[in-house]
């Protein structure tokens, strides 16, 4: 028996679309899931955008006011895919209205925002899933298992890199992302939040760090109309970029391992160059998002000149089997969101967390807060 789960999406930009498509694809990939999402409502402040989403994707109703979604008894679960400054207000209100939350990272502007949403969800007894999608990649789950099983020996150090060019164009529009009030931090919330989550997912807790940040494109053009994603605004009135384009960070883990986390949004020639290199006393494992279904692995007992092999992950890895029948049939970015949607809906069906949680968001946001503090003070900061 499959029951309907009334879902709503708040904020219909890039992530709003991706969440919506993930809900729609759930029955295709997870036919035994006992709950089937029904697209009940979409809320979006740009005039006409919610109606267009309803028409295209089949939401029953469309509104410009997310409060109508909070008050709608047909809605049991909500995707919060609006800009960062709204995560806290919308997340807390939805939880208090008894809606389960699938909320995008970084969950607010600071760790106190993430904690407020986590506390509200706890009080209301609703499930909370967070958009740390890179840990859903089957190859990343395999890497984690390899590391945890001692397959590369004792972990010594990790390098996590998230480089992109999405803000490299000097004409890219001065959207909410570049403002302190609406975006909070810059590349910290955008990319380093994923890096902090991956670091903890793979290696456990970070206990101290020191960070340096920089703004490399200090002005951008103000857009003349509504934007979504990373729009250009050639010729617009210039305005100041208020948050960092770059962060470089040294990490110490509770395990004694060391790490480097570097993230940049203005790296010309780098497109979604996200990945990690984890080194241990007897081996290493490497992952690059652009070759999402592959791991490079070095293991054995030769230490020097030890070969590295490419492993194409297959149905044994994570949730790969829900998408493809055999290794080297590539999965893509949107599939990671289908996995996330599955874990969200499964956690609602089973009444217990499954996959990422709001606690993960609090941990990631605390690491970002420590980076901000370290960049300000020039000192190591403990966590």
Ligand X SMILES: NC(=O)c1ccc[n+]([C@@H]2O[C@H](COP(=O)([O-])OP(=O)(O)OC[C@H]3O[C@@H](n4cnc5c(N)ncnc54)[C@H](O)[C@@H]3O)[C@@H](O)[C@H]2O)c1
Query: Smallest distance, Å, CB 175 to ligand X?
Result: 6
In sequence order, the 6+-apart residues with CB closer than 8 A to the CB of 132 are 105, 193, 194, 197, 198, 201, 356, 360, 361, 364
Q: Which is nearer to ligand X, 46 or 232 (CB)?
A: 46
| Distance of alpha carbon 122 from alpha carbon 83, whole angstroms | 23
Q: Which is nearer to ligand X, 6 or 11 (CB)?
A: 11
Choose between 86 and 251: whose C-beta lies nearer to ligand X. 86
The secondary structure of 319-379 as a DSSP string is: TGGGT-SSTTS---HHHHHHHHHHHHHHHHHHTS--S--HHHHHHHHHHHHHHHHHHHHSS
Verify binding: residue 15, ligand X, rule CB under 6 A: yes
Binding mask 59-98 for ligand X (x = CB under 6 A): -------x--------------xxxx-x------------
Q: Is 327 exposed, middle or buried (0-12, 13-18, 19+ CB in 10 A)?
A: middle
For the bound state, the minimum distance from the C-beta of residue 2 to ligand X, rounded and expressed in Å, comes to 28
Residues in region 211-250 near ligand X by CB under 6 A = 228-229
Q: Which is nearer to ligand X, 18 or 146 (CB)?
A: 18
* Site track for ligand X across 125-154, x = CB under 6 A: ------x-x---------------------
Closest CA to 137 of 346, 334, 365: 334
CB–CB of 263/163 below 8 Å? yes
Per rule CB under 6 A, is residue 117 in the interface with ligand X? no
Q: Which is nearer to ligand X, 82 or 146 (CB)?
A: 82
Residue keyed to tokens 């480089």: 163
Point out the residue whose Cβ comes nearest to ligand X. Answer: 13
Q: Which residues bind to ligand X, rule: CB under 6 A?
A: 10-15, 43-46, 49, 66, 81-84, 86, 104-105, 131, 133, 190, 228-229
């Amino acid at each position: 028996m499959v029951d309907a789960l009334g879902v709503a999406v708040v904020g219909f930009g890039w992530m709003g679309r991706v969440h919506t498509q993930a809900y729609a694809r759930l029955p295709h990939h997870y036919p035994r899931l006992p709950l089937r999402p029904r697209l009940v409502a979409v809320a979006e402040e740009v005039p006409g955008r919610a109606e267009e989403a309803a028409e295209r994707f089949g939401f029953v109703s469309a509104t410009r006011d997310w409060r109508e979604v909070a008050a709608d008894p047909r809605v049991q679960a909500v995707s919060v895919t609006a800009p960062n400054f709204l995560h806290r207000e919308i997340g807390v209100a939805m939880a208090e209205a008894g809606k389960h939350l699938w909320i995008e990272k970084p969950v607010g502007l600071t760790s106190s925002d993430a904690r407020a949403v986590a506390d509200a969800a706890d009080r209301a007894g609703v499930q909370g899933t967070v958009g740390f999608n890179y840990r859903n990649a089957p190859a990343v789950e395999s890497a984690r298992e390899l590391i945890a099983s001692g397959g590369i020996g004792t972990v010594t150090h990790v390098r996590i890199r998230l480089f992109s060019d999405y803000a490299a164009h000097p004409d890219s529009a001065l959207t909410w992302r570049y403002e302190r009030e609406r975006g909070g931090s810059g590349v910290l919330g955008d990319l380093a939040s994923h890096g902090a989550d991956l670091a903890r997912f793979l290696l456990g807790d970070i206990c101290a760090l020191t960070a340096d940040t920089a703004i490399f494109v200090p002005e951008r053009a103000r857009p003349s109309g509504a934007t979504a994603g990373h729009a250009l605004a050639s010729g617009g009135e210039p305005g100041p970029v208020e948050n960092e384009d770059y962060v470089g960070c040294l990490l110490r883990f509770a395990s004694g391992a060391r790490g480097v986390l570097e993230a940049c949004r203005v790296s010309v020639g780098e497109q979604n160059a996200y990945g990690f290199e984890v080194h241990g006393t007897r081996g290493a494992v490497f992952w690059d998002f652009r070759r999402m279904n592959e791991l490079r692995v070095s293991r054995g007992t030769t230490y020097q000149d030890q070969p590295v092999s490419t492993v194409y992950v297959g149905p044994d890895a994570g949730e790969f089997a829900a998408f493809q029948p055999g290794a080297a049939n590539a999965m893509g970015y949107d599939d990671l969101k289908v996995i996330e949607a599955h874990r969200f809906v499964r956690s609602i069906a089973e009444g217990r967390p499954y996959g990422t949680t709001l606690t993960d968001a609090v941990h990631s946001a605390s690491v970002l807060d420590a980076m901000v503090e370290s960049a300000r003070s020039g000192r190591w900061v403990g966590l």
